[in-house]
Amino acid sequence: MRTRPQAAWIPAEPTPADDDVDTSIARLRGLLDGARIAALTGAGISTDSGIPDYRSPGAPIRTPMTVQMFLSSPDFRRHYWARNHLGWRHMDAAQPNAGHHALTALQRQGRLNGVITQNVDMLHTKAGTRGVIDLHGSYGRVRCLGCGWIVSRHRLADMLEARNPGFADRVTSRGAIEVAPDADMVLRDTADFIVAECPMCDGILKPDIVYFGENAPKDLVEQSFSLVDASDALLVAGSSLTVMSGLRFARHAHRTGKVLVVVNRGGTRADDIADLKVDHYCGVVLPALAG
């Protein structure tokens, strides 16, 4: 059962990138040679695309909104949607980087069985990877919590813009806005923002993503375990595995005798069970693995 923590997320302690990365990559290749690979990715694979994460060394300490906050108050929802009205545009414009393309290359080589991602940025799909399991959902869809009506984030943007003409221009004209993870932005002046309700039932609209304090959908969790079971190795890329959402798959791989390798900047909760930990950038290590 997965519950995201509700306290502030503290970044990992800075660690030097692996000085002998060539040796580590050679070991990684040896461990994965001939293996059917399942990949589990986190925010660290997307930082080269301009999407910040919560826990890499040097990241600012953040306190993300929880589902309990979002549901408890119209003020919280207004604050969230005002920030998201700006933040989703940044995520929508982001493009896959070398790490994403390397996983697609591994899949086309017949070496990668599939990808489980904890990210909501859709960059694996943009890179051409097939059958991605979006464990935490996708920023590109919005769902009504009352009647289940689903709308694209693009269409919702039009609805919000109609209610808040010029809001984005007014806010951005005041200076630089700090981008935050999960299609969010750091924004404080939101008192005049008008939220859109479901046009079908006037219900609460929520991004079709797993918030902090929510559980990942059971069917996606089961698909993820099945992917690991159908593979010989689990490659963790860009995740500290701080929450059980990803850690359970690493532990399951280790418990069932799969090869477990981790590529991540900073420490992870699977370092002690991994067959190999490479403390380096996904954008460097994964292309070398696929090359």
The answer to whether residues 268 and 241 touch, using CB atoms and an 8 Å cutoff, is yes
Q: Is 43 annotated as a binding residue?
A: yes
Distances (CA, A) of 25 to 93, 177, 194, 253, 272: 31, 38, 51, 21, 19
* Choice among 136, 154, 254, 280 that is catalytic: 136
Q: Is 14 annotated as a binding residue?
A: no
Per DSSP, the three-state class of 46 is coil
Partnered with residue 206 across adjacent β-strands are 143
Of 268, 266, 267, 249, nearest in space to 258 by CA = 249
Is residue 136 part of the annotated active site? The answer reads yes
Q: Is 61 annotated as a binding residue?
A: yes
Q: Is 50 annotated as a binding residue?
A: yes
Q: Is 46 annotated as a binding residue?
A: yes
Q: Is 44 annotated as a binding residue?
A: yes
CA angle 122, 167, 8 (to 5 degrees): 55
Q: Is 117 annotated as a binding residue?
A: no
Parallel/antiparallel/unpaired status of strands 259-263 and 276-278? parallel
Q: Is 54 annotated as a binding residue?
A: yes
Q: Is 198 annotated as a binding residue?
A: yes
Q: Could you count the other beta carbons within 10 Å of the beta carbon of residue 134?
A: 25
> Side chain identity at 259, as an amino acid letter?
V
Q: Which residues are catalytic?
A: 136
Q: Which residues are annotated as a binding site for Zn(2+)?
A: 144, 147, 198, 201
Q: Which residues are annotated as a binding site for NAD(+)?
A: 42-62, 118-121, 238-240, 264-266, 282
